[in-house]
């Protein structure tokens, strides 16, 4: 009988993987896990491929050991190629290696750092069940997108502070002096005061011009300098990779937030960027669509202080019959 959930793990995490399997099965979810489900005398590699082909969800027990496991990397690659949804259960706070980052950079994670582990596995079981039972589950969007899970959250935007565009005056608090009595006329300014007033006005104007210049040229906000993504992609579960070029502000870039502007069926999502300490550079994201549609997305960078970049839009068409690149 085919199992719905394939559990991928490093042998160093077998105890944790067995607990995951036990709790999922106690909740009525059928699991495939090695070596338990490999028949005596069967070919190990062929058994794993068959199990991934039949699974609908892969649960990845993610740790430092699985991050460096060649077997785990091969299983994740096969799951992505077959269009199997992946839920990483992160039991250790370790950064992704480059190989897994390629496949999991846009994955929705479920963190399980704090004890008790069983509570996190119960949440995992709920998420898997919700995915398997939902007739209208998301089938488009970022690779590995799952209902019921959230990516590691990017911080909310910093408290709103309006930056005025160059050359456009904004609202200002003006202190209005009390009106003179009707019978009392204001004394005319002396010539010396007239000259002083002109110099003061010129000085204030120069200061304002400098302020506007520096706020425009160095606001401290991150900036998207370019987005690279194909204008057309083939319909299917295979992820297509794009990239965002960036220039950091005063804080490190944490990632990008994508909002759907136009689409038939697509989900907004966040992407974490492994670019800490870099003032400029690029990072990747991956998208797919299993239905033909035109998609327009709006991307904004988020930095460690919660500041957002100006939005940058890009569009693509998902079409049938296009070759995979």
DSSP string for 34-45: TTTTSPTT--HH
Query: Among 195, 86, 70, which Cα is nearest to 151's?
Result: 86
Highest CATH level, class, for 5-142: alpha beta
Task: Give ranges for CATH 2.60.40.770 in the chain.
Answer: 223-319
The upper half-sphere exposure of residue 106, i.e. CA atoms within 13 Å in the direction of its Cβ, equals 26
Tokens of 58: 């892969």
The upper half-sphere exposure of residue 41, i.e. CA atoms within 13 Å in the direction of its Cβ, equals 0
* CA distance to 100, 165, 186, 255, 274, per residue, from 155 (Å): 24, 25, 55, 10, 16
List the pLDDT tens digit at each of the 325 positions of the chain: 567 899 999 999 999 999 999 999 988 899 999 999 999 999 999 999 999 999 999 999 999 999 999 999 999 999 988 888 888 999 998 888 888 888 776 566 788 888 888 888 988 888 888 778 765 444 443 334 333 334 445 555 554 333 323 332 333 333 333 333 444 444 555 554 444 455 656 566 665 655 554 444 446 899 999 999 999 998 875 668 889 999 999 999 988 889 999 988 777 777 778 788 899 999 888 777 777 899 999 999 999 888 999 999 999 999 988 876 5
Q: State whether CATH 2.60.120.380 applies to domain 223-319.
A: no
Task: Give ranges for CATH 3.40.50.10140 in the chain.
Answer: 5-142
């Amino acid at each position: 009988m085919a199992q719905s959930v394939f559990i991928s793990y490093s042998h160093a995490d077998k105890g944790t993987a067995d607990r995951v399997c036990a709790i999922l099965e106690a909740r009525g979810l059928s699991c495939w896990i090695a070596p338990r489900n490999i028949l005596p005398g069967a070919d190990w590699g062929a058994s794993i491929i068959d199990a991934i082909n039949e699974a609908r969800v892969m649960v990845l027990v993610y740790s430092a050991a699985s991050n460096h496991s060649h077997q785990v990397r091969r299983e994740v690659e096969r799951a992505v190629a077959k269009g199997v949804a992946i839920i990483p259960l992160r039991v250790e706070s370790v950064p992704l290696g480059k190989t897994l980052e390629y496949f999991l950079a846009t994955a929705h994670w479920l963190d399980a750092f704090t004890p008790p582990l069983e509570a996190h596995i119960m949440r995992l079981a709920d998420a898997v069940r919700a995915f398997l039972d939902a007739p209208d589950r998301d089938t488009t969007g970022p690779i590995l997108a799952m209902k019921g899970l959230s990516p590691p959250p990017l911080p909310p935007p910093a408290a709103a502070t309006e930056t005025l565009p160059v050359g456009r005056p904004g609202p200002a608090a003006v202190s209005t002096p009390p009106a003179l009595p009707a019978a009392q006329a204001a004394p005319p300014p002396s010539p010396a005061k007239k000259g002083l007033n002109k110099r003061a006005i010129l000085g204030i104007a120069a200061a304002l011009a400098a302020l506007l210049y520096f706020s425009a040229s160095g606001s401290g906000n991150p900036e998207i300098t370019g987005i690279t993504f194909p204008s057309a992609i083939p319909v299917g579960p295979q992820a297509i990779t794009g990239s965002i070029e960036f220039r950091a502000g005063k804080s490190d870039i944490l990632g990008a937030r994508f909002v759907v502007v136009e689409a038939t069926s697509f989900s907004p999502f966040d992407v974490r960027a492994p670019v800490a300490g870099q003032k400029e550079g690029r990072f990747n994201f991956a998208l797919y669509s299993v239905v033909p549609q035109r998609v327009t997305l709006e991307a904004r960078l988020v930095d460690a202080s919660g500041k957002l970049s100006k939005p940058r839009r890009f569009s693509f068409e998902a079409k049938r019959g296009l070759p995979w690149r």
